[in-house]
Chain A
Amino acid sequence: MKKYWKIVWNGITPSNPILILAIGLCSVVAVTNSVQNALLMTFVFSFVLIFSEVIISLLRKIIPGDIRVPIFVVVIATFTTIATLLSRAYFNSIYEAIKLYIFLVVVNCIIIGRAEAFSYQNSIVDSIFDGIGMSIGYSWVIIAIAAVREVFGNGTIAGFRVFPASYSPALVMILPPAGFLILGVLVGWLEFTLKKRKVKK
């Protein structure tokens, strides 16, 4: 059990795909202007990542090494399309707003990176936990950024009003550049705390 917790925890902070490895960034900056967008993105990302890891780990013994990357890509693209069709059928209005970034989950470097580095070498159960860990690591970051941006930029969280209507929103927070600014602050803060912890030890 401890081993699995370690795999999951690895994705949440020590090798957090966004904050530490700095990969798969497109969607992080683009869809975080509202919590709803971030939630749909989280769903699509986790769905694609976990299922792709399972399938690749299942087939790892029969996938020839020479053509493993094209096969990974086909598997990931298949699940991305399934996720696209599902979100189009059941979350149509949010889908319309961020569809370009949903399509681009297929080239998200986190997913292909985990396929290559983890599930191609590890068992199915390990891969599932790795997928869960990475998904949580990805999700908490984009939902946190989205919450900050939506609260200050619009006075709401996932559409529910938090600040009174008289609050005049800081428009810049939901404009595209704020995604970069907040990500920068978050990365700086994480490095700051990690460094402090190291000094203490």
Chain B
Amino acid sequence: MNKILKLTLILGVVGAISGGALATVYKVTGPVISAQDAKTLQAGLSEVFPGDYQFEGLNEEFELSDSVVKIDDAYIVKSNGGIIGLVLQVTSPGSQAPIKLLVGTKKDGTVSGVKILESLETPGLGANASNSDYYVEKENKITFLGQFKGKKFSDNFVPKEDVIAITGATITSTAVARGVKVAGRVAHNYFKEKEGSG
């Protein structure tokens, strides 16, 4: 019994040292990681909603039309004090891990841009979704994400109908299209509500 107690104690000490070391490293790298994330987010925001505008975080619960797509964050786009758009961070289930998207929406009812923040899709197939050299329409050099620009919220967003799918990656194409669709619906409701109240 004594021996077991001693071994447990040693293991406990080793565990405590390791935990302490990790907490220290995390304290140092944590700020770098969050700074990195903030930078990526800022770059993403101005990519999906190009132009010189201010972005402001929005704390609001949205009603969703889909059970598996989630809205993580929302940012309102302001120009001269007036709201001209909404950027939503959407999570849609991909083929291996959830795909995190940023969807920019304009007040006139169209999508201003889409960007993939995080995804673990198959290289060569689904990963082409975020590849800037992969064109779904070669003649016009339109990328998979590029084709969403200017689409109306009321569109169907179904691959092989009004969305051109990535060859060999139906799951990825559907997941992205679905995320954009949900974001569009949410934005539509949001703008309508604002109009009504203001």
Determine whether A and B are in direct contact in the complex, meaning some CB atoms lie less than 8 angstroms apart: yes
Q: Which B residue sits closest to A86, measured CB to CB?
A: B29
Q: Could you tell me if A90 and B32 are in contact, using CB atoms closer than 8 angstroms?
A: yes
Q: With a CB–CB cut-off of 8 A, which chain A residues contact B29?
A: 85-86, 88-89
| Interface size band for B | 20 to 34
Known: A74-B14, A75-B18, A92-B36. A85 touches B26 (CB 8 A): yes
Q: Could you tell me if A33 and B32 are in contact, using CB atoms closer than 8 angstroms?
A: no
Q: With a CB–CB cut-off of 8 A, which chain A residues contact B26?
A: 85
> Does A164 reach chain B (CB closer than 8 Å)?
no
Q: Which B residue sits closest to A99, measured CB to CB?
A: B120
> Which residues, 104 to 135 on B, are CB-close (under 8 Å) to A?
118, 120, 122-125
CB-contact partner of B7 in A64, A78, A85, under 8 A: A64
Q: Could you tell me if A153 and B15 are in contact, using CB atoms closer than 8 angstroms?
A: no
Shortest distance in angstroms between B172's beta carbon and chain A's nearest beta carbon?
14
> Which residues, 1 to 44 on B, are CB-close (under 8 Å) to A?
6-7, 10-11, 14-15, 18, 21-22, 25-26, 29, 32-33, 36-37, 40
Q: Could you tell me if A97 and B120 are in contact, using CB atoms closer than 8 angstroms?
A: yes
Q: With a CB–CB cut-off of 8 A, which chain A residues contact B124?
A: 33, 153, 171, 174-175
Q: Could you tell me if B123 and A74 are in contact, using CB atoms closer than 8 angstroms?
A: no
Q: Could you tell me if A85 and B33 are in contact, using CB atoms closer than 8 angstroms?
A: yes
Q: Which A residue sits closest to B167, measured CB to CB?
A: A171
Q: Main SS of the interface on chain A?
A: helix
Q: With a CB–CB cut-off of 8 A, which chain B residues contact A78?
A: 18, 21-22
> Does A125 reach chain B (CB closer than 8 Å)?
no
Q: Could you tell me if A88 and B7 are in contact, using CB atoms closer than 8 angstroms?
A: no
Q: Could you tell me if A64 and B33 are in contact, using CB atoms closer than 8 angstroms?
A: no
User: Which of A18-26, A65-73, A114-122, A189-197 contacts its partner?
Assistant: A65-73
Q: List 20 A-B contacts (CB under 8 A).
A: A33-B123, A34-B123, A64-B6, A66-B7, A70-B11, A71-B10, A71-B14, A81-B22, A82-B21, A85-B25, A85-B26, A86-B25, A86-B29, A88-B33, A90-B32, A92-B36, A92-B37, A96-B118, A100-B120, A175-B124
Q: Which B residue sits closest to A156, measured CB to CB?
A: B133
Q: With a CB–CB cut-off of 8 A, which chain B residues contact A82?
A: 21-22, 25
| Alpha-carbon distance A153/B7, docked complex (angstroms) | 52
Known: A71-B11, A78-B18, A92-B40. A175 touches B120 (CB 8 A): no
Q: With a CB–CB cut-off of 8 A, which chain A residues contact B36?
A: 88-89, 92
